[in-house]
Chains A and B, each alone.
Chain A
């Protein structure tokens, strides 16, 4: 994949992930050159990423994803998970992280439930207030 493709792929996914709740974000123009350069300026509830653990049923389908390593700063956020095959979403789900007593992990049920052979990436977005 070329440099532009590497940028456009995530940008497209971001738009898809946000489409449900922040439709306007999908309309924003994100240029490849802009995403590929510059200095990190992160204001986020978790700066070091999440960990994922897929749950697969006896039919070989991914039914949920346990997301862990979520900083407490994300408590109260809506956690959205999307499974993809290439650039196609093959399953997604969301849950609201508890505002109090948050333990840093959450299980997100996925629908539809894709075969594990048809998943090549997992994306999660914690949408804070």
Chain B
């Protein structure tokens, strides 16, 4: 489409050219209004979609069992204990979402959900951070666990007495957006106590091998 507007001097008495290139759908138009060239590109998003993913890999690592792998266990654990620290790793496959999450999507919300599988013995704060390198569910150990981002993606507090079956949720919108755009590799997350020191007891969550209460990632996005 095109439109030509009667010349109006804006810059130096010359005509002004406005060129529109609309990305989705790809259409274009030009408008002569002055002496400069402008290109307009638009991305208008459709309605929000929600995708609920199951984990494709999860495990935990134990400091005191530094060479042990727990990839097939029915629970994952987190503990602040200085000598028996436990950390959980979990990963989801975003390509399983339908409709697909395009690289120019806007992620409105992404929540990592774990379900408590045993009574919480203390009130603790747990952080989720992006893993900095890939890991393998059946071989990750304390000794070979990947480093994680220095940025805390999200935090959640679990209160003492929290019952089994309670869902704990971490916001991970920023990371999922980065996965979608390619700004970050989807190497999953590490969930750990925000203060790994002193003594403490592990908090257990259902793993993807559990009969119920398995990890989920719930994404709401504009495709």
A123 & B18 in contact (Cβ 8 Å cutoff):
no
Contact code string B5-27 (vs A, CB < 8 Å = 1, else 0): 10010100000111111111011
Set of chain A residues within 8 Å of B41, measured between Cβ atoms: 46, 49-50, 67, 123-125
Set of chain B residues within 8 Å of A37, measured between Cβ atoms: 1
Contact code string A90-119 (vs B, CB < 8 Å = 1, else 0): 000000000000000000000000001101
Set of chain B residues within 8 Å of A44, measured between Cβ atoms: 19-21, 28, 30, 37-39
Set of chain A residues within 8 Å of B104, measured between Cβ atoms: 51-54
CA distance A52 to B180 in the complex (A): 12
Minimum CB distance partner of A34 in chain B: B3
User: How many residues on A have C-beta within 8 angstroms of the other chain's C-beta atoms?
Assistant: 55
A124 & B10 in contact (Cβ 8 Å cutoff):
no
B39 & A126 in contact (Cβ 8 Å cutoff):
yes
A14 & B40 in contact (Cβ 8 Å cutoff):
yes
CA distance A128 to B22 in the complex (A): 17
B19 & A53 in contact (Cβ 8 Å cutoff):
no
Contacts between chains A and B (CB distance < 8 A), count = 177
Q: Which residue from B1, B17, B34 sits with its C-beta under 8 Å from A43?
A: B17
Kindly state whether residue B161 has any CB partner on chain A within 8 Å.
Answer: no
Q: Which residue from A40, A56, A62, A125 sits with its C-beta under 8 Å from B40?
A: A125
User: How many residues on B have C-beta within 8 angstroms of the other chain's C-beta atoms?
Assistant: 53
CA distance A34 to B173 in the complex (A): 42
A25 & B28 in contact (Cβ 8 Å cutoff):
no
Q: Which residue from B24, B36, B45, B174 sits with its C-beta under 8 Å from A22?
A: B36
Kindly state whether residue B177 has any CB partner on chain A within 8 Å.
Answer: yes
CA distance A23 to B151 in the complex (A): 42
Set of chain A residues within 8 Å of B19, measured between Cβ atoms: 42-45, 47
B174 & A56 in contact (Cβ 8 Å cutoff):
yes
Binding site for A on B (CB under 8 A): 1-5, 8, 10, 16-24, 26-31, 33-34, 36-45, 103-104, 106-109, 151-154, 171, 173-174, 177-178, 181-183, 222
A-B pairs with the 10 shortest C-beta distances? A44-B19, A49-B23, A53-B181, A50-B41, A34-B3, A128-B37, A56-B177, A121-B44, A49-B41, A44-B39
Binding site for B on A (CB under 8 A): 10, 14, 17-18, 22, 24-25, 28-31, 34-58, 60, 62, 66-67, 74, 77, 116-117, 119-129
> Can you show 26 pairs from A to B with CB atoms below 8 A apart?
A18-B38, A22-B34, A25-B16, A28-B33, A31-B3, A34-B4, A35-B1, A41-B2, A42-B19, A44-B20, A45-B37, A46-B21, A46-B39, A47-B19, A49-B24, A53-B103, A54-B177, A56-B107, A60-B173, A116-B106, A119-B45, A119-B106, A123-B40, A123-B41, A126-B39, A127-B36
